[in-house]
């Protein structure tokens, strides 16, 4: 049965370049194929290709496929009545990627085309999509060449020391407790804890007392399900941070919840009251993911001259382990919550390049010292 044409855009929602067409406006055949891809399985049936994906992964895939449909609606509207495999061709995807490159960074282009690849391979798994996989790999190579993370990395020990120093500074002040001191202590604890336990920022922001932050014996543990891999993370808060965490929970967090400073009361906070959320914003409410990231980037830019976003903490951790303790590099799996070591090495480990650069520099310096000695002789 031929695919039904896509429904027309609503005039008030027209965005001819950047709009991601929502699922309910996809061609009917595409909606049905996506529904099949989401069907859960059981012991005897693995289910649809996208059944086990995390919510955020599904959202990224549907948005990218919706963006592709938006592009088709503007450039090749007649193709929307064709089956998916006749619509997604090397020529159309190349043209789509070419437009993306004029609007987005190389990394964003990779993410869009990679998510498009995941969408079509899950909705039409019987088709041969090898050409699309190769295209994604080429784009990844270009993106890595255009923008390397290495210049942005710092030692994970430096990040931990930054957070520790911020807490010590806030706690040592003699003036009466003010919200600015409480915020500095909170931000320092967040940076130090994220350096020691580099969770995904969505999971880190959502830490809640009594649910994912649990008291066991004399200390606290982080117990949660990784939002991407669905693996259990069950790790203790480092001993070095246990007293600082207790201080935050008993002193600074209650102060922020009471909202002793200026500004609207907690009831008017956009996120509402903090409840059991570990991280409390300056209005006494719980944090949004982006807001906590902004605080971390603000302080790391002040300290290192460039912002270290929370996801880079994971790169810094993996690289620091590989450089300083290569014999135990497999602990990266536990630290980052990955299922395969190759994932940690491919995505986060920049140690080999750093070591190669250091060895080359040492070799050059040795040659220079040798030449100077010969000249003196």
What's the average pLDDT block by block, 10 residues per block, for the chain (377 residues)? 42 60 94 93 77 88 94 92 93 93 84 94 94 90 63 80 95 86 95 89 93 93 87 87 95 83 39 74 81 93 91 76 44 47 46 43 54 67
Strand partners, 222: 213, 235
The answer for residues whose C-beta is within 8 angstroms of residue 293's C-beta and 6 or more apart is 201, 309, 310
Residue 318: Cβ within 10 Å count = 27
Residue 108: predicted pLDDT: 86
Round to whole Å and give the CA distance between 186 and 209: 15
Superfamily of domain 151-307: Intergrase catalytic core (1.10.443.10)
Residue 175: predicted pLDDT: 81
Residue 370: predicted pLDDT: 66
Residue 366: predicted pLDDT: 57
- Which residue, 148, 170, 153, 149, is CA-closest to 304? 153
Round to whole Å and give the CA distance between 357 and 152: 15
The answer for residues whose C-beta is within 8 angstroms of residue 304's C-beta and 6 or more apart is 154, 158
Alpha carbon 342 to its chain centroid, in Å, reads 18
Torsion of CA 234, 239, 243, 248, to 10 degrees: -40
Question: Number of C-alpha atoms within 13 angstroms, CB side, residue 113?
Answer: 31
Residue 294: predicted pLDDT: 92
Round to whole Å and give the CA distance between 204 and 56: 15
Q: CATH 1.10.443.10 occupies which residues in the chain?
A: 151-307
Q: Is residue 208 helix, strand or coil?
A: strand
Residue 157: predicted pLDDT: 84
Residue 145: predicted pLDDT: 58
């Amino acid at each position: 049965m031929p695919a039904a044409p896509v429904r027309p855009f609503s005039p008030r929602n027209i965005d001819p370049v950047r709009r991601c067409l929502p699922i309910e406006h996809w061609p009917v055949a595409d909606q049905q194929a996506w529904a099949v891809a989401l069907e859960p399985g059981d012991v005897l049936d693995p289910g649809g290709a996208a059944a086990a994906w995390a919510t955020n992964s599904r959202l990224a895939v549907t948005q990218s496929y919706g963006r592709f449909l938006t592009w088709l609606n503007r450039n090749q509207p007649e193709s929307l009545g064709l089956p998916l495999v006749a619509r997604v061709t090397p020529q159309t995807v190349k043209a789509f990627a070419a437009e993306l490159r004029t609007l987005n960074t190389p990394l964003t282009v990779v993410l869009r085309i990679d998510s498009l690849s995941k969408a079509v391979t899950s909705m039409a798994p019987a088709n041969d999509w090898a050409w699309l996989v190769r295209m994604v790999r080429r784009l990844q190579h270009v993106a890595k060449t255009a923008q390397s993370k290495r210049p942005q990395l710092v030692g994970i020990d430096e990040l931990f020391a930054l957070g520790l120093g911020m807490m010590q500074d806030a706690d040592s002040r003699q003036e009466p407790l003010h919200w600015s001191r409480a915020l500095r202590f909170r931000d320092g604890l967040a940076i130090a804890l994220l350096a020691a336990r580099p969770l995904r920022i969505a999971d880190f922001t959502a830490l809640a007392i009594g649910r994912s932050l649990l008291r066991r014996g004399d200390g606290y543990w982080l117990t949660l399900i990784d939002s991407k891999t669905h693996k259990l993370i069950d790790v203790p808060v480092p001993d070095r941070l246990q007293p600082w965490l207790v201080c935050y929970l008993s002193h600074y967090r209650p102060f922020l919840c009471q909202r002793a400073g200026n500004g609207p009361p907690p009831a008017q906070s956009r996120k509402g009251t903090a409840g059991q959320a570990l991280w409390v914003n300056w209005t006494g409410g719980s944090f949004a993911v982006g807001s906590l990231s902004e605080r971390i980037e603000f302080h790391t830019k002040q300290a290192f001259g460039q912002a270290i976003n929370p996801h880079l903490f994971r790169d810094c951790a993996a690289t620091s382990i590989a450089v300083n303790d290569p014999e135990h590099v497999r602990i990266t799996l536990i630290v980052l919550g990955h299922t395969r070591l190759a994932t940690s090495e491919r995505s986060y480990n920049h140690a080999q390049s750093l070591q190669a650069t250091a060895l080359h520099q040492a070799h050059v310096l040795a040659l220079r010292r040798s030449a100077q000695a010969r000249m003196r002789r």
